[in-house]
Amino acid sequence: MTDRCLYVRADDLHSRLNDDRYLPLDDGSTHGPGVVAAAQRFVEAIETAPAIALTGWEELSTADLSITLALLSHLNPRALVKPYRADDPRTAAPTPASPADEHPDDEPHSSAPGWICCLNGEHEPWFHDRHVQTLLYRNMRPFHPERLLEVFDGPISSGRLGTVVRSAGFCQLATRTPRIGLWSHVGRMVTLDPTPFLSTDPKHPSGQEIVLTGIGIDGPGIVAALDGAVLTDEEFTAGPRRWQGYADPLTPWREPDAGENGDGEHGDGDSRE
C-alpha cells in the first residue's frame, strides 16, 4: 500500500487469494495474539483500499484482463481500479484524490468491502465482466452445521459450481442459536466466528445473509446447495431444544467479550482449509 493506493500484481493475484499460510496477529485482545490467514489479510487489503493499481497486466489476454479488473471491482466496488505501468505516464497510478467527475457518485473515493455494499444494496462495481458475479444468499432458517460443512467441502470447494473466490456475511447455526456468526471465506479457507449479536434482537440479521463473489459461478446451483444445508421442515418445527443435539463438527465458539465486534480475526473460531 502506497499513498493509500494498493498495488496488485496480475500474475500473483489468484495465488495470493489462495495463500493458506497463517500469520501472527497481535490485535491487542486479552486472549493474546491470534492468527490470520494470509489470503484473508490480502483480500481485506483489497476490500478496504481507496484505489487499486493493477501491475503486470500486459501479459494478460484481453479476456483475462477484463475478468481480473471486474473481480477487483466486485471485491471493492467503491475503489478506483486501474491498470498501471510505472514506465508509461498514460497509466498513472490511481489516487483517492482523483477528480470527482471521474466517479459516478461525484464524491471522494471511499472504500467498503463488496460484501457489505451488497448487503446494503449498494454493490455497483466499476468494471463488469459476464464471467464475474456477486450474489446474495438469504434464508431465514438456521444451518445444520454438519450439512453446511459438507456443502463447503463438497460442491463449493471442489469448483463444481464455479470458482467462489470470496464469500462473507452473517449466518446462524441451529446448534448455536440465537448467536449470530460472522462467515468469512477466501480461497481455500473459511472462518466462522461468533459476533455479539443475537437473532432475538430485531435490529440484527436473522438466518443467513451471505454474499458470494466468483468467476463462472452457478448461482442457482449455489443457492440450491446452501438451501440443502438449512433445517428441513421437520427439523425446524422440532425447535431449538432438539437442535442442540444435532451433530456439530465445527470448532466450539468462545463467547465474545463486551465491546468485541466479531470481526473474524481472532483465530478462535472455526477455520478450515
Q: Consecutive sets of 10 residues in the chain, 273 residues long: mean pLDDT of each? A: 82 94 68 74 95 95 98 96 79 51 43 92 95 97 96 91 96 94 91 90 88 97 98 97 96 68 42 52
pLDDT of residue 27: 55
CATH superfamily of 132-272: CobW-like, C-terminal domain (3.30.1220.10)
Could you give the CA distance from residue 40 to residue 33 in angstroms, rounded to a whole number?
Answer: 16
Which candidate, 130, 217, 142, places its Cα nearest to that of 183?
Answer: 142
pLDDT of residue 101: 35
pTM of the model: 0.84
pLDDT of residue 264: 37
Cβ contact 196:107 at 8 Å: no
Q: Which helix (H) or strand (E) holds 220?
A: helix 219-227
pLDDT of residue 94: 66
Q: How many angstroms separate the most distant Cα atoms in the chain?
A: 66
pLDDT of residue 270: 55
Cell numbers for 166, please give them. 470470496
Which candidate, 209, 187, 188, 189, places its Cα nearest to that of 199?
Answer: 209
Could you give the CA distance from residue 196 to residue 177 in angstroms, rounded to a whole number?
Answer: 12
Cβ contact 60:34 at 8 Å: no
What do you get for the CA distance between the two ends of the chain, in Å?
27
DSSP single-letter state for residue 156: I
Residue 102: left (phi > 0), alpha (psi -120 to 50), or beta? alpha
SS3 of residue 133 by DSSP: strand
Domain boundaries, the chain: 5-111, 132-272
* Gyration radius (Cα) of the chain, Å: 19
Cell numbers for 257, please give them. 467479550
Cβ contact 269:185 at 8 Å: no
